[in-house]
Structure 1
Amino acid sequence: MQWQELYRQRVCSADEAVVDSLKPGTKVVFGHAAAAPVRFSQAMYRQRERLENITVFHMLYFGDAPHLAPEMRSHVHPTLNFLEGNSRPASRDRRVDFIPCHFHEVPELFRQGFFPLDVAVVQVSTPNEEGYCSFGVSCDYTKAAAECAPVVVAEVNKQMPFIGGENLIHISNLTHIIEVDEPIAEVLPPAISDLELRIGQNCASLIKDGDTLQLGIGGIPDAVLRALEGHKDLGIHTEMFTDGVMRMIRKGIINGKKKTLHPEKVVTSLIFGSKELYDFVNNNPVIECYPVDYINNPDVIGKNDRMVSINSCLEMDLMGQAASESIGYEQFSGSGGQVDFLRGAKRSKGGISIMAFPSTAKKGTESRIVPILKEGACVTTGRNEVDYVVTEYGVARLRGATLRQRAEALTAIAHPDFRPALEEEIRRRFE
């Protein structure tokens, strides 16, 4: 049978897909970030009285998320690995379970049965001439979920970019097809503050021409990129790809010419940003998406010579322990790929990692560099993993430093208002 006929046979409405695939006790994995299956979530809400004991796993979810609404409590049980604006209210309301896991290990949750999924719900591009759809802006764990699930529901979206790499699924592997023609969820670049510009400049001072970079999303990564506009021949091997990277490619600053792995390619696991970015990556031969267990694998990352990993945290203690995902006992986000890339950069020939963050929080009333982390805070990145630390006040290198040297170096880049208390703590501990 030709794939076109299979496609026609498997087209259904979102409501039909929900009713047909979500039997009592079903475990579901949703596609990720800007490729979240919004139509399916909306249909779950409409059909909620039919749903019984449905467990839904996902990480970032951008767009309308009615499956997380309070009235879904008795029907749907979210089990997540990362929190953001849609899911934090449900978490605070004790309607969410959380699975701690490094990002590159998430596909193994499915393969090894730690999360034995029954259904994968994904968003993909329209098929090419051979019947292959692209997972578009979200390969990460989504591809593994679709490979493991016996039932695969796909929102086939005419506006999803077609992106190569290891990022394809054939129509024959889709059991339900929901036709969609809607814009991909946009995450617009934030305005960059003067403080973030200073942090970006401090980070850029550690980066050399020809380095390969990993950056996240937000004002600090964008500020780093802006500060790198005088550099050349930079490469990208990153968990996520955003508008700032696109601008640097267009300027020729990022070209991958010096990369030792995937030369002259930008490789990533997920993409989110503006419509301009989605248009840029569509059928762009320079851009390749790969599963997160490849992109974020520390051994793979380490094959890039001069790998530079740039991440952030909410709080760091004087030993260098970083709390990046919780505020005290409250889960705020997730570990994502932070540890993946810190370890990968350490395995890279000439590689470094940078933890970059503002020196204060809560409008300057709290120091982010503290004697001890808040009670209940989880340590995302242990002290043994941390290399460079950057604030707007400078750069501290912790790798190879003693406990006292670490404490003194971190105090030197803390906000001046909080240095006396940190200095007193150093005297108490070490004198």
Structure 2
Amino acid sequence: MHFLPDLATAPDTLASGVRSQFPVLAQRIHGAALAYLDNAATTQVPLPVLAAMRNFEVHDRANIHRGVHALSQRATDAFEQARSALKRFVGAGAGHELVFTSGTTEALNLVAHGLSAAAAGSAFLQPGDEIIVSGLEHHANLVPWQQAVRRSGAALRVLLPDAQGRLHPEDLVRLLTPRTRVFALTACANATGERPPFEALLALAAQAGALTVLDAAQAMAHAVPNLSALACDFMAFSGHKMHGPMGTGALVGRLAALERLAPLRYGGDMVDWVSYTDAGFAALPSRLEGGTPHVAGAVGMAAAAAFIDAVGRSGIDAHVAALRAHAAAGLAAIDDITVLSPWAAESAIVSFVARGVHPHDIGTLLDEQGIAVRTGHHCAQPLLDHLGLGPTTRASFALYNTHDEVERLVAGVARALEVLQ
């Protein structure tokens, strides 16, 4: 990839060097240049990823694993090579496996369902067991656990953040008991940008004997966790948040933990043998991948991981952190604006509330200036209710964003408040 810049030359050199790889960013919205600041919802896809997916669809498209013809064998190779590449990307070791899913939501549902549904006669979760979920979670890492306790008779406990939205290890220690079987946590709160000390929290839960679950959706385009360095049994992430295709994702985890999961989908490659009255299931990872997979999507996810590594993880991390710090400082300087988690230096997300102004109105006025942000509860209503904030406006950054776009955001918010207040 010869388009990659020398990151040391200027603050926005990384962005200027890669923006041409994202044609969607060249358009104008309402007559203004697009400033796409909604990356926590979905990142844009670069040309190398689109090319990898197109190459598969044009040359190798076929169903995988069961065909003896050349296209099926090439498609199978592409799918399994994508699996291996993504395992390397997240630091998975020999004791880990990666299961392809449609995204983080399906991956987390697979874990919650798989631990609470009967497998081989009994479920992992039993009446009287306890599940701890952090109070920072996206609904996708809360609602599945609510359903799991209903199926199993277990109890749900919530590790609440403090009034500023921070989690503390000592609070987790007080919640852990011999009956704690699962601890589920985000690597970055999508509603506030808070980056909890997940390494320490996962370690505490693991030491107490719990299975640990990390929602890494907001950490895959930058600050990618190293799975082998974590006390983590299951980690979930999505392709569309790491410059890959929508409708793709993965659950990667320890083999021993994945073996505990009852399948979520039955049929296709997940069976080993079938009779009219019974069936035997295949070994991992196929056992948890029922149905025809999104093979081009897996290829695209692997290409996105390669793109991130080609640009350089440390350069991306530094660039995104600088953008977030710039935005947080600029927004905090506006009267009547409160920035959530202003200290979250490793985050790509800056959320804020404006006194007396609804975030949807701010988002609408920003859109008229070509600035795309997200407004609402961000699928984290319990957290925002706990903090007493209600809906917020959220800007989120990626490697192609610039400091000029941050300045446009801050000026646009200031103008919106002048109009709305």
TM beyond 0.5? no
Higher relative contact order (CA 8 A, sep 6+): 2
- Provide TM-score, normalisation by structure 1: 0.29
